[in-house]
Amino acid sequence: MLFSLILENEAGDQIDMTATANQYMTSRVEGLNPPTGTISTSSYAGMDGSYLNNAFIEKRNVVISFEMRGVGVEARRHQLYKEVKPSRYIKIYYATAGIDLFAEGYVESCEVQNFEMLTIGQISILCPDIYWYSTTSVMAYYSHITGAFTFPFPTGSNPEAFILGKYNTQNMMSIVNDGDEIGFTLVIEALEDARSPTLYYRVFFFLWYNIFLFLN
């Protein structure tokens, strides 16, 4: 499978871990799958089975194994140490033919085996935020004012003023979230007389949000 794997530190310096065989050639990446869940249960007293206390995912651990070939291995090793420092922030860009994602975390370790026939190394990154995010935001825009610019311009023989826009209260818009998690960010721009907008599910249950309301 063809893929791209780029690491970016807090200063914006990037290292392409899939550039060529003469630079950093990634041989294995662990932690791309959903992280292991932590399940806490307690046994019933004198009964079969147990009950669930809680279930959660603690963190994501991305482990990158790579090889270094060709000339200039020493210089590239020091470059790696300079840009991928333990305990420092790191951003992981991962892309294939169908996805283009990033995750953020902190470098746990960056080790290179110097005394082997083949110079190999491993980078371990801990991501407190367990999710992969798309590199491009998906935005759905809906305006309550429908454009209705018409011609001709008003004249003496045609005193009717032309319409710049009109309010439309009948249109509906469906927003589909294709991600793994539920939810979206809603930003509403409204006039000053707009107060406390209410959203509904299709089945007419109340849906409460922290809504960003910008008044024009």
- Cα 94 from chain centre: 11
Contact 80, 110 (CB under 8 A): yes
What letter does residue 125 receive in the DSSP assignment? Answer: E
Residue 197 lies in a domain: no
128: left (phi over 0), alpha (psi -120 to 50) or beta: alpha
Residue 17 identity: M
Place of tokens 């190394």: 121
Number of folded domains that form the chain: 1
Neighbours of 123 (CB within 10 A): 26
Model confidence at 191: pLDDT above 60: yes
Mean pLDDT of 73-98: 92
Q: Which residue has the higher pLDDT, 119 or 188?
A: 119
Q: Token pair of 130, please?
A: 């367990």
Q: In 3-state terms, what secondary structure has residue 81?
A: helix
3-class secondary-structure state, position 79: helix
CATH of the domain at 119: 2.40.30.200
- Please name the residue that has the structure tokens 């209410």: 198
Regarding beta strands 133-134 and 100-113, do their DSSP bridges make them parallel or antiparallel, or are they unpaired? antiparallel
Q: If you search the block for the tokens 């000053």, which residue do you land on?
A: 192
Written as six digits, the tokens of 104 are 């953020």
pLDDT tier at 84, thresholds 50, 70, 90: very high
Residue 69 lies in a domain: yes
- Which pLDDT score, from 0 to 100, does residue 116 have? 79
- Is 151 part of any domain? no
Residue 142 is assigned to a structural domain of this protein: no
Q: Is residue 85 part of a domain?
A: yes
Q: Give the three-class secondary structure for 179.
A: coil
Distance CA 65, CA 24 (A): 10
Write out pLDDT tens, residues 30-73: 999 988 889 999 999 888 999 999 999 889 999 999 988 877 88
Q: For residue 193, is pLDDT > 60?
A: yes
Structural domain contains residue 162: no
Instruction: Give yes or no for a cis peptide into 152 (omega within 30° of 0).
Output: yes
3-state SS assignment for residue 78 = helix
Alpha-carbon distance 23 to 11, whole Å?
21
Q: Within a domain: residue 22?
A: yes
Q: Can you give the residue range of the structural domain that contains 101? A: 4-39+47-134
Residue 190 lies in a domain: no
